[in-house]
Chains A and B, each alone.
Chain A
Amino acid sequence: MLGRYQILSEEEQRIVHDQSVQVLGEVGVKLLSDRALKILGSNGATIDTESQVARIPVEMVEQALETAPKSFTLGGRTPEFDVPLPSPTSGYVLDLGGVFTRDLRTGERRYATLQDNEDAVRVFEQMQHASVVWPHSIAEDTSRASALRATMSTLMNTSMHVQDELEEPADVPFFIETLAAVLGSEDAVRKRKLFSVVYCTLAPLVHEGQMCDAYLDAIEFEVPILIFPMPAAGSTGPGSLFSNVVLGNAEALSSLVLFQMARPGTPLIFGDASGSTEFSSGGFLEGSPEMVLQTGARGEMARFYGLPNTQAGCLTDAKEPGPQAVMEKMLTTLPLVLGGVDMVQGPGALETSGVLCLEQIVVDDEIAGLCERMRAGVDISESKDYSSDIRSVGPGGHFLMQDTTLEACRSDEFFLPQLSDRNTFERWTELGKPDIYGKARERVEEILAAPLNNPLPDETVGNLQEILRRAQVELQ
Chain B
Amino acid sequence: MTTADYFEKLAQAVIVGEPEQAEELARTALAQGLDALECIDRGLTVGMKRVGELFATGEYFLPDLIIGADAMKAALAVLEPALLDNQQRDVLGRVVLGTVEGDIHDIGKTLVGTMLTANGFEVMDIGFDRPAGEFVAAVEETNATLVGASTLLTTTMQQQKKIIEELTSAGLRDQVKVMVGGAPTAQAWADEIGADGYAVDAIGAVALARRLVGAEPSPGIDD
Contact = CB atoms under 8 A, between A and B. Distances in A.
10 contacts: A99-B183, A99-B184, A139-B154, A142-B157, A146-B155, A167-B155, A280-B58, A280-B61, A280-B62, A354-B183
Contacts of B202: 281-282
B62 A32 contact: no
Contacts of B62: 277, 279-282
B111 A282 contact: yes
B137 to A, nearest CB: 24
B157 A139 contact: yes
Interface of B: 55, 58, 61-63, 104-105, 107-108, 111, 154-155, 157-158, 183-184, 186, 188-189, 200-203
Contacts of A279: 61-63
Interface string A124-162: 000000000000011100101011000000000000000
A111 interface: yes
A100 B61 CA distance: 28
Given A110-B188, A111-B186, A146-B155, 12 more contacts: A99-B154, A100-B186, A139-B157, A139-B184, A277-B62, A279-B62, A280-B61, A281-B62, A281-B202, A282-B108, A282-B111, A282-B202
Contact of A146 (B108, B154, B183, B203): B154
A206 B129 CA distance: 15
Given A142-B157, A142-B158, A282-B202, A137 B105 contact: no
A144 B63 contact: no
B154 A235 contact: no
Contacts of B154: 99, 137-139, 146
Given A281-B62, A282-B201, A235 B107 contact: yes
Contacts of B201: 281-283
A101 to B, nearest CB: 12
A139 B153 CA distance: 9
A279 B63 CA distance: 7
A178 interface: no
Interface residues of A, number: 26
A127 B108 CA distance: 37
A206 B154 CA distance: 20
A271 B178 CA distance: 38
Nearest to B201: A281
A369 B61 CA distance: 39
Q: Across the A-B interface, give the 5 residue pairs with the lowest CB-CB distance, nearest first.
A: A279-B61, A281-B201, A99-B184, A137-B154, A139-B154
Interface of A: 32, 99-100, 110-111, 137-139, 142, 144, 146-147, 167, 202, 206, 208, 234-236, 277, 279-283, 354
Contacts of B104: 32, 202, 206, 208
A281 B203 contact: yes
Contacts of B157: 139, 142
Contacts of A142: 157-158
Contacts, number: 51
B195 to A, nearest CB: 15
Contacts of A144: 155
Contact of B184 (A32, A137, A280): A137
A32 B189 CA distance: 30
Nearest to B152: A202
A26 B68 CA distance: 31
Nearest to A99: B184
Contacts of A280: 55, 58, 61-62, 203
A32 B128 CA distance: 13
A96 to B, nearest CB: 12
Nearest to A278: B62
Contacts of B111: 282
Contacts of A147: 155
B45 to A, nearest CB: 22
A190 to B, nearest CB: 27
B162 to A, nearest CB: 11
B128 to A, nearest CB: 11
B52 to A, nearest CB: 13
A31 to B, nearest CB: 12
A309 B55 CA distance: 40
> Taking each of A99, A137, A282, which has the highest tally of chain B beta carbons within 10 Å of its own beta carbon?
A282
A90 to B, nearest CB: 28
A277 B108 CA distance: 13
Nearest to A282: B62
A243 to B, nearest CB: 16
Contacts of A282: 62, 108, 111, 201-202
A234 B108 CA distance: 14
Contacts of A234: 63
Contacts of A354: 183
A202 B105 contact: yes
Nearest to B157: A139
A79 to B, nearest CB: 33
Contacts of A100: 186
A93 B158 CA distance: 29
Nearest to A279: B61
A213 B219 CA distance: 48
